Amino acid sequence: MRRFVKKLSAVWLAAACLCLAASAARAQQAAAKQKQKEKVTVTMKDRIEFAEGGTLNLQGTWGEVTVEGWDQPFVEITLDKTTNKKYAPKNEAQAQKALAKFGYTVKKDSAASITLAGFQPSSNLLTRPFGGKSAVKLVYTIKVPRRSNVNIDHSMGVVAVNDVSGDLAVKNRIGEVSLKLPENGQFTVDARSKVGDVSSSARFLGDNGREHVVGQKLVSRQDERESHRVFVRVQVGAITVR
């Protein structure tokens, strides 16, 4: 009887070991398959000669847009398009083909004016390759000569403009707008949000506080004869001016 129990215990132990080994193998296979799947990114990039004092126009963009001033006589545009879904290597070509339907065109209107127009597939449910904009992440990084004028008409997402000392006009239907203006510049600011807060540094409020929520609008007028115009309108979302 004892021998029988010992043999039965050994059989159970062996079976348990086999089950554990099989589970570990399945887990390793699943992990390997998961590692093979990655998000797909396609990058567009352009560099265009552009002198200081010109105007950059952005139309029909959505996602994240960052415009930065720099000391180069060029406009440099980088757009990273990334799927939110992960794809196996064999399906990457399909994802890249679909991502090609998102992007921008650039037109040099004159020596002092450039227009970037964003494009995307139709909103028709039968033609959207990813089921909507939310399945794709678009990130624009745009560098312009520091003393440029910038006009942005954005549909949805985050817009940031940093260290640009010309006139600024930014419209965003849904999302945030953040402006970091050069410290040595003079600006007349008119910023309003229909639904959302407007925050500003003390520089535009005339007191010693750090930063304040000023409600749904900020109107700050420095020396208008020497200042650049900053105009911001947001339908739903917050505005920050520093």
pLDDT digits (tens, 9 = 90+) for 66-112: 999 999 999 999 999 999 999 999 999 999 999 999 999 999 999 89
Cα–Cα distance, 108 to 237 (Å, whole number): 31
240 in Cβ contact with 199 (< 8 Å): yes
User: Residue 136 pLDDT > 90, yes or no?
Assistant: yes
Cα–Cα distance, 72 to 75 (Å, whole number): 8
* pLDDT average, residue stretch 47-74: 96
User: Residue 12 pLDDT > 90, yes or no?
Assistant: no
Cα–Cα distance, 69 to 185 (Å, whole number): 13
- pLDDT, averaged across the chain: 82
154 in Cβ contact with 62 (< 8 Å): yes
- The pLDDT of residue 5: 43
Cα–Cα distance, 134 to 230 (Å, whole number): 30
- The pLDDT of residue 209: 39
User: Residue 22 pLDDT > 90, yes or no?
Assistant: no
Model-level pTM?
A: 0.78
Q: How confident is the model at residue 123 (pLDDT cuts 50, 70, 90)?
A: low
User: Residue 62 pLDDT > 90, yes or no?
Assistant: yes
Residue ranges of E strands in the chain: 38-49, 55-70, 74-87, 103-110, 113-119, 136-145, 149-162, 168-174, 177-180, 187-195, 198-201, 211-213, 217-221, 228-236, 239-241
Q: How confident is the model at residue 20 (pLDDT cuts 50, 70, 90)?
A: low
Cα–Cα distance, 171 to 177 (Å, whole number): 9
In percent, the amount of the chain with pLDDT more than 70 equals: 70
* pLDDT average, residue stretch 109-132: 73
Domain ranges of the chain: 1-36, 37-241
User: Residue 180 pLDDT > 50, yes or no?
Assistant: yes
User: Residue 153 pLDDT > 60, yes or no?
Assistant: yes
Of 130 and 162, more confident: 162
Consecutive H or E run containing 9? helix 2-36
CA 147 to chain centre: 24
Residue that is written with structure tokens 């949000």 in the block: 193
